[in-house]
Amino acid sequence: MKNYLLIALVAALIGLSSCVKQPSYPVEPHLELKSVSKTLVSLPSGGPTTDTVQVTLSFTDGDGDFGIPDGTIDTTCADCLCTDHSTDSRAISNTTWDVFYYAYTSGFPDSCLSIPGIGTKYIPVATKYPALQGDITFQVSVECPGTGTQDTLRYSFFIKDRAGHLSNRVLSPGIVIDCN
């Protein structure tokens, strides 16, 4: 009798596991801003002139082609153009970067100050269930503005998969930088 119960239980578990529906997402990556570690950065006079803010983004990608093969990290973009953020082809075409952000300060509304590119770890495409979801956590450096003793900084983030699909853009809350 115990053997029949055990066999029935194993058969039921196998039957239930085959009914699990795998997630389905569009082939274009999708981003959501999950968290920003702080919205007030105090850099006292005579102290350190820079600090970091940790950002966590949640992403999905339906065809699972995310990450760069060599897993490099690069926070400079010496050859990038800072344009209207729909035509940054030189930065976006760089195959070693797939997470991008724009920095805006209150002294320069709607002006792109920089486009650092960050590379994520290569994720091989799974053959059976390629859809991906996960979190990306990284730090951005902030410093005292040249416009005075206090300023507000915002970031706009987007990602690119290996097929070149661009995600939506998400905007951070304002980060006040106080340099008193």
- What per-residue confidence (pLDDT) applies to 5? 56
Q: pLDDT, tens digit, for every residue of 129-145?
A: 788 888 988 888 888 77
Tokens coding 173: 């809350």
- What per-residue confidence (pLDDT) applies to 30? 93
Indicate the SS3 state at residue 8: helix
Q: pLDDT, tens digit, for every residue of 16-43?
A: 555 556 777 888 999 999 999 999 998 8
The model's pTM: 0.74
Q: Measured between alpha carbons, how far apart are the two ends of the chain, in Å?
A: 78
Instruction: Round to whole Å and give the CA distance between 119 and 146.
Output: 29
Q: pLDDT, tens digit, for every residue of 97-113?
A: 788 887 777 665 555 55
Query: Could you give all domains of the chain from N- to C-terminal order, each with its CATH number?
Result: 26-178 (2.60.40.2550)
Q: pLDDT, tens digit, for every residue of 109-128?
A: 555 555 666 777 777 787 77
More confident residue, 144 or 92: 144
Instruction: Round to whole Å and give the CA distance between 32 and 61.
Output: 12
More confident residue, 67 or 38: 38
Q: 50-61 and 132-143: which strand pairing?
A: antiparallel
Tokens coding 63: 């065809």
CA distance readout (Å), 107 to 104, 143, 155: 8, 14, 14
Band (56; pLDDT cuts 50, 70, 90): very high
Average per-residue pLDDT for the chain? 74
- How large is the average pLDDT for residues 60-87? 62
- What per-residue confidence (pLDDT) applies to 58? 92
- What per-residue confidence (pLDDT) applies to 53? 92
- pLDDT over 90 at 54, yes or no: yes
- What per-residue confidence (pLDDT) applies to 115? 60
